[in-house]
Structure 1
Amino acid sequence: MSLALNPCFTPPTADIYVFDPDLAVENRRSFVPRYGDENWSLLALTQNPSQADDLIQWRWFSEVFREPFRYASWTMINYPLPDVDVARQGAAMRSKLSVGRLMKTVNQWSLFARWLEGHGITKLSEVTAEDLTEYGFHLKKVRGLARNTATSHLIGLSRLHYYGQGYLPEVDRLLEPPWVTEGMDDYLPAATPLGANITEPIVPATMGPLLVWAMRFVEEYADDILAAAAEHRRLIAVAEALNGPIKAGAGQRLVTYLEQLEAEGKPVPASVWGKEAASPGVFLAGLTGTPAAKVHQVMNQPRWKAYRAKNPGRCLLETPVTARLGGEPWHDPFDFYGCTTLLKHLGTACFVILGYLTGMRTGEILALENGSCPDPEGPPEAARRHLIYARQFKVSRDEDGNHDSAGVVREAPWVAVPQVVRTVRVLERLGGHGLLFAAELHDPRQLDRRSGRSLAIATMSNRIESFIEWVNAHAESRGRQAEVIPADPHGRVGTGRFRRTLAWHIARRPGGLVALAVQYGHMRTLISEGYGSRSRGGIHDLLDFETARNVAEHLSEVHEAIQEGEGISGPAARRLIHAAAQEHSRFGGIIASVRQARSLLADPTLNVFENKEAFLFCNYDRAKALCHPGRGGKSEAPSLDRCKVNCANIARTDDHARQLREAAESLGQQAASGAVPEPLADRLQERAQSLTGLADQHDNDRVLAGTGAGR
């Protein structure tokens, strides 16, 4: 039955489709709900492969408001907002919403309906401007919502008002909210200091080991896991091919196999559930070529039932374990029933690497397809760079300016470092022909709902936590407690924090090395070149923000130290003192927006970067820098891994001098311990003397603010 057009203030009958099935994604038309259903799935309206399976549940609404809001929701799904309302001043509106936003809006309406009932209001037409003002206060003060969340609630009510004017009966119309004409600021919480950038980066203590283990899985363990998975699939295929009528003598191979185990005193493969050992029908069927039904008949015979009870064993695959961890096999012999878990963890490790080393959003990663990272063309001796062609969803719009759920291919492809390329190749080896994270490959239990789609974002988030738990248990069992992944103090790792963490590390370690020599400074260059002269945005905004925050924090600390009487030394001492004073005056150590970040970074006098390894600040001036052989051309970040002691951009603080002496003392103790070879001890002692000399030079040359410093 097709959709009835033109509502005319009359709700559809219960058997009418909620939206026209012809508009549905072809392989999801069976998901199109009927108007009278208790739950509505909008999955068939979106082409985003990672869209969650959320449902509009009408039990959210009491009987008083259920039908009015059901009709309002049906209207919102099927009819665009009138142009006159889209063009209104105030919060930006789209004529139609994405599936995710539709779900959120209906959920917000349900919260509003509950609040109305709690205040004795049973009809939308009874709501007054004072009621709406009080509800805005409720969101702000009682529920304590963040500004962006409260804004979303108010926009949802504005949309309810707009639809009511053109589509809903008079009794179900909401009057114009006061914030439509007055603006929303008075109805919202104050803006947070960090604006939208409130996602905490994953702390290095957690991210480092997590990345190391993810790379181990992809670069060292993948061959073993994929081989075990192939054997697992082969045994299942053999077992399934044997289904059908049982022929005479079908159990003889199994009996021969069991007799050999008995003669050698070996355990029988079994599935152990609690204290009970059951027969692994599929495994033994594939292993011996015996139909699964016959396997259970044979294994239930008294002789074999008793032997299995006394000698239960694992269902081991013949696939060898070739990779090593600390000189030992990284895993025990693979078990038939543990294979899917390892495959799941391999897929999770792939996601961690892609999420952390590319800068892609979660939805972009889950939408990657086979062939999205082709080998570059050209002769092998030429400098070639792999690119990833990904779809983006956040900014994809159709010709009417509404969200396009299919996404659009990025104008500028992502540049892939070697670790990322190897990760993509592992995912391609799983055998799929569509999405790299296709549900049928990574979660075949949900084939009925997620066919042709990727894993859901929530599923991947849960799998990352499961991966961390598995790794920690594995490390403990092998006596490698130092390699466990510590819990992040800010909570779950999730999927959306990798992108922010990448920007955090790039900004704070330009040119440095993080986990297995992945060069973030190098990656920053690649990302920048990938964007070229195209529109900035995406990861660049995060890079700018984190770099500026890092600079502001360091300069603020220097300013405080100077005020407390600490000294500065080095050729660039005067520039550092001036930069600290300027930053304090303009920003006060706090960068609250991308605009402020760009303003700070655009000021060459504030281009100050700390090199913790060299115990110094680089007051970067490209014309004076020794870290770049050719110092002409436009400005760029310094290469802090190539700092020169005679560079004119160097400045040190008293704190750096203290750190130099502590490092020198530590090296001297190592040299004198007798635990290192004499040539190494000599080098350590020489290094210690060099560091002490730098500290002495600082003490001799240090100046205080206002006394004249540096050149």
Structure 2
Amino acid sequence: MTLALGPRFAAPAADAFVFDPDRAVEGRRDFVPRYGDDGWSLLALTQNPSQTDDVIRWRWFPEVFREPFRYASWTLINYPMPDRDVALRGAAMRSKLSVGRITRTVSDWSMFAQWLDERGIKQLSLVTAGDLSDYSHHLDKVRGLARNTATSHLIALSRLHYYGRLYLPGTDRLVTPPWVTEGMDDYLPAASPLGENVTEPIAPATMGPLLVWALRFVEEYADDILAAFGEHRRLVEIAEGLKGPFKKGSGRRLVTYLEQLEAAGRPVPALVRDTKISTPGVFLAGLTGTPAVRVHQVMNYPRWKAYKVQNPGRCLLDTPVTAKLGGKPWHGPFDFHDVPGVLKHLVTACFIVLGYLTGMRTGEILALENGCCPDPQGPPEAARRHLIYARQFKVARDDDGNHQSAGVVREAPWVAVPQVVTAVRVLEQLGRHGLLFAIEVHEPLQPERRSGRSLAIATMSNRIESFIEWVNTHALDRGRQAEAIPGDPHGRVGTGRFRRTLAWHIARRPGGLVALAVQYGHMRTLISEGYGSRSRGGIHDLLDFETARNVAEHLSEVHEAIQDGEGISGPAARRLINAAAQEHHRFGGLITSVRQARDLLADPTLNVFENKEAFLFCNYDRAKALCHPGRNAKSEAPSLDRCKVNCANIARTDAHAHQLREAADDLGRQAVSGLVPEPLADRLRERAQVLNELADQHDHDRVLAAAEADL
């Protein structure tokens, strides 16, 4: 089927395809909707494996507008916007939209149609520019939409206007929206005070334990889980192979097995759910080589039925549990029916490790394929790093600037730290080929229309919540409540917050990772270097933003302390005082855009970083820094995990001196507690003395900060 080059304002027949089936992705031709269907799925048009299967529902529209917008949507799917309109309207317009954006546009149209119906306007050609202005006000004041969301709605109406001029009948043509000629700014809500970054990072108290447990699954528990899953799969395959007519005497092996259990007084495997006890047909079929149908027949014999009720037991696998938690096995023997659930948690843990320790977008992770992280080539003595070759979707455009649903391979691969490589290898063992998160592997009972795709983003988000719930229950059962994962104050962890959280921790934590700074301190260097050259489509802007916001907050706090008469000491004391004053006058402690972030970071006098582990501020000057012995290297940030007490970039506040004394007192209490060996107690006392000496030096050298600020 080939659609006509130009519609003549006549809707297709109800049984006509919504779009040419030849455009459908291979294997999805049968999913192409018909024009008269109550809902249109556009899944057959996209090659993005994680694209949501959203369906356009015509019940969204008031009846009077249903057919006009059905036809408008058909033209949106099948015809490009004229080049002249694309050229005139700038980057916000594309000649063709992605599947997700088409669905979003039609959804925006439905809200507009409902608003028109409520106002008594029953025809698009009767809408005035004043009505459109009122609608923009409605989006802001009544609906309370964020600026970006409101922008999406206005662009959708602009597109309806452009399509109407060429493709729609006169009664369905929308007047030129006022924002097309006057600009959008006056028709949008005020910009958010948080600028471009409204996604909240995951709280450190949540992210730390979450990452610890995810790494435990990936690095320690994976072998046990994979072995149990292998045995589970073996038993299932045996049971599947026994389906069909069975021969006489096929239940003999099961009876022999049951007689052995009875003689030894051992329980019979059973499924116990609340008060209901049932027969585990697949498990016993795989275990004894008896067809499942025959298993149920034998287990219904009065003798074995009574024995099952009196002695029900679990369906335990004989695979070993080798990993430890607190010196004890981390898990008891695996139950056949629990293995799929534990395997889901392992896959979720792999996603968490990939999401947090790479900074990839969710869609990029779900589109990873087996073989995406090959072992590096070269001699063993050479410095070798694993790289991940991934596809990106957000900026994937063809030569005409239109979205490419299959994505494009990133020009620069992601740097993979060892923990990420381990997660990839675990997923590769499960799938062997295709997508790492393939739906056929991880949700084999999903509908056929999901075939060839990855787990859905919503599914993975739900799995993360299930993972947290399982961990907290497990920690409680093991008497390790202190290791539970607390809830995040901003709600669900989701899938899209890991990227922002990574940037937050790299910018604000010595070593770069909360709760793992010592064990995995090298990640900060690797990740930062990897992202440093990935400003396009990477995480570089987020790193800039979080670093600048961190600097601005610290300098603002120092400025307030200076005004309150707090003292400053150290070789860089005057530089810190001047930097705090400059930041206050230029930014006021608030960074709201990437441009502001870059302006702040470009000023060497404002490169001030707090090291809470060493109780100091680093007023970073590369020429004076002792954390980089080779100071000719191109290092634009300090290594806060290598601060030296004699560095010329150090400055301390009265608050730091107070923290030094508190830390010294705490070490002193530990030394005299009698709970530590004497050699360790001696080292604690020595460290406490050093901290007290640093605090005394601050008191001796501190300058009158308020007086210095007035110079």
Range of TM-score over shorter length:
over 0.9
Aligned to 1:183: 183
How many angstroms apart in 1 are the aligned matches of 2:106 and 2:54? 12
How many angstroms apart in 2 are the aligned matches of 1:119 and 1:512? 55
How many angstroms apart in 1 are the aligned matches of 2:356 and 2:269? 41
How many angstroms apart in 2 are the aligned matches of 1:281 and 1:263? 22
Fraction of identical pairs, as percent = 81
CA drift of 1:260 comes to 1.2
Aligned to 1:428: 428
Aligned to 1:265: 265
Residue correspondence of structure 1 range 88-127 to structure 2 within 5 A = 88-89=88-89, 92-127=92-127
CA drift of 1:525 comes to 3.9
CA gap of 1:223–1:447, structure 2 versus 1, over 3 A, is farther
- Segments of 5+ residues of structure 2 without an aligned counterpart are none
Would you say the 8 A contact 1:209–1:485 is kept in 2?
yes
CA drift of 1:261 comes to 1.2
After TM superposition, the structure 1 stretch with the greater mean CA deviation from structure 2, 202-211 or 627-636, is 627-636
How many angstroms apart in 2 are the aligned matches of 1:681 and 1:347? 44
How many angstroms apart in 2 are the aligned matches of 1:2 and 1:300? 61
Would you say the 8 A contact 1:361–1:496 is kept in 2?
yes
CA drift of 1:663 comes to 0.8
Amino acid at match of 1:384: R
Aligned to 2:207: 207
How many angstroms apart in 1 are the aligned matches of 2:513 and 2:138? 49
How many angstroms apart in 2 are the aligned matches of 1:325 and 1:147? 49
How many angstroms apart in 2 are the aligned matches of 1:41 and 1:521? 47
How many angstroms apart in 2 are the aligned matches of 1:531 and 1:626? 24
Aligned to 2:697: 697
CA gap of 1:478–1:533, structure 2 versus 1, over 3 A, is closer
Amino acid at match of 1:83: D
Give TM-score, length-normalised by structure 2: 0.97
After TM superposition, the structure 1 stretch with the greater mean CA deviation from structure 2, 276-285 or 570-579, is 276-285
CA gap of 1:589–1:705, structure 2 versus 1, over 3 A, is same
How many angstroms apart in 1 are the aligned matches of 2:276 and 2:4? 58
Residue correspondence of structure 1 range 83-482 to structure 2 within 5 A = 83-89=83-89, 92-482=92-482
CA drift of 1:367 comes to 0.5
How many angstroms apart in 1 are the aligned matches of 2:6 and 2:67? 18
Aligned to 1:47: 47
How many angstroms apart in 1 are the aligned matches of 2:65 and 2:390? 43
Residue correspondence of structure 1 range 550-561 to structure 2 within 5 A = 550-561=550-561
How many angstroms apart in 2 are the aligned matches of 1:84 and 1:519? 57
Q: Deviations over 1:581-633 (max 9, x none)?
A: 00001100011111111111111000101010110001011111111112224
How many angstroms apart in 2 are the aligned matches of 1:90 and 1:75? 21
Residue aligned with 1:35, SS: coil
Residue aligned with 1:446, SS: coil
Residue correspondence of structure 1 range 569-648 to structure 2 within 5 A = 569-648=569-648
How many angstroms apart in 1 are the aligned matches of 2:659 and 2:209? 26
CA drift of 1:537 comes to 4.8
CA drift of 1:384 comes to 0.8
Amino acid at match of 1:268: V
Give TM-score, length-normalised by structure 1: 0.97
Would you say the 8 A contact 2:535–2:541 is kept in 1?
no
Would you say the 8 A contact 2:506–2:513 is kept in 1?
no
CA drift of 1:536 comes to 4.3
Residue aligned with 2:51, SS: coil
How many angstroms apart in 2 are the aligned matches of 1:432 and 1:446? 20
Would you say the 8 A contact 2:510–2:611 is kept in 1?
no
Would you say the 8 A contact 2:33–2:41 is kept in 1?
yes
Q: Deviations over 1:201-254 (max 9, x none)?
A: 111110010001001101111011111111111111111111111210011111
Would you say the 8 A contact 2:201–2:504 is kept in 1?
yes
Q: Deviations over 1:391-412 (max 9, x none)?
A: 0000000121100000000000
Structure 2 residue 685 is the aligned partner of structure 1 residue 674: no
Amino acid at match of 1:632: N
Residue aligned with 1:27, SS: coil
How many angstroms apart in 2 are the aligned matches of 1:296 and 1:541? 61
After TM superposition, the structure 1 stretch with the greater mean CA deviation from structure 2, 187-196 or 154-163, is 187-196
Q: Deviations over 1:397-429 (max 9, x none)?
A: 012110000000000000111111111111111
CA gap of 1:191–1:521, structure 2 versus 1, over 3 A, is farther
After TM superposition, the structure 1 stretch with the greater mean CA deviation from structure 2, 66-75 or 308-317, is 308-317
How many angstroms apart in 2 are the aligned matches of 1:523 and 1:162? 50
Amino acid at match of 2:655: D
Residue aligned with 2:345, SS: helix
How many angstroms apart in 2 are the aligned matches of 1:672 and 1:221? 39
How many angstroms apart in 2 are the aligned matches of 1:697 and 1:140? 57
Q: Deviations over 1:345-387 (max 9, x none)?
A: 1000000000000011111100000000000001112211110
How many angstroms apart in 2 are the aligned matches of 1:204 and 1:706? 34
Would you say the 8 A contact 1:506–1:521 is kept in 2?
no
CA gap of 1:394–1:702, structure 2 versus 1, over 3 A, is same
Residue aligned with 1:283, SS: helix
Would you say the 8 A contact 2:512–2:524 is kept in 1?
no
Residue aligned with 1:469, SS: helix
How many angstroms apart in 2 are the aligned matches of 1:451 and 1:634? 48
Count of aligned pairs:
710
Aligned to 1:79: 79
Would you say the 8 A contact 1:239–1:282 is kept in 2?
yes
How many angstroms apart in 2 are the aligned matches of 1:130 and 1:29? 44
CA drift of 1:634 comes to 3.5
Residue aligned with 1:445, SS: coil
How many angstroms apart in 2 are the aligned matches of 1:528 and 1:268? 56
Residue aligned with 2:356, SS: helix
Aligned to 1:13: 13
Aligned to 1:493: 493
CA drift of 1:667 comes to 1.1
How many angstroms apart in 2 are the aligned matches of 1:233 and 1:418? 29
Amino acid at match of 1:420: V
Residue aligned with 2:676, SS: coil
- Segments of 5+ residues of structure 1 without an aligned counterpart are none
How many angstroms apart in 1 are the aligned matches of 2:329 and 2:648? 52
Aligned to 1:62: 62
CA gap of 1:66–1:94, structure 2 versus 1, over 3 A, is same
Would you say the 8 A contact 2:12–2:35 is kept in 1?
yes
CA drift of 1:528 comes to 5.0
CA gap of 1:92–1:253, structure 2 versus 1, over 3 A, is same
CA drift of 1:295 comes to 0.8
Residue aligned with 1:488, SS: coil
CA drift of 1:62 comes to 2.2
Q: Deviations over 1:7-65 (max 9, x none)?
A: 21001001110010101101111111000111111001000000111111111112211
Q: Deviations over 1:446-505 (max 9, x none)?
A: 151221111111111110001000000111111110110000001110000000010001
After TM superposition, the structure 1 stretch with the greater mean CA deviation from structure 2, 143-152 or 252-261, is 252-261
Q: Deviations over 1:656-685 (max 9, x none)?
A: 011111111111111122222222222211
Amino acid at match of 2:506: I
CA gap of 1:303–1:573, structure 2 versus 1, over 3 A, is same
How many angstroms apart in 2 are the aligned matches of 1:677 and 1:472? 34
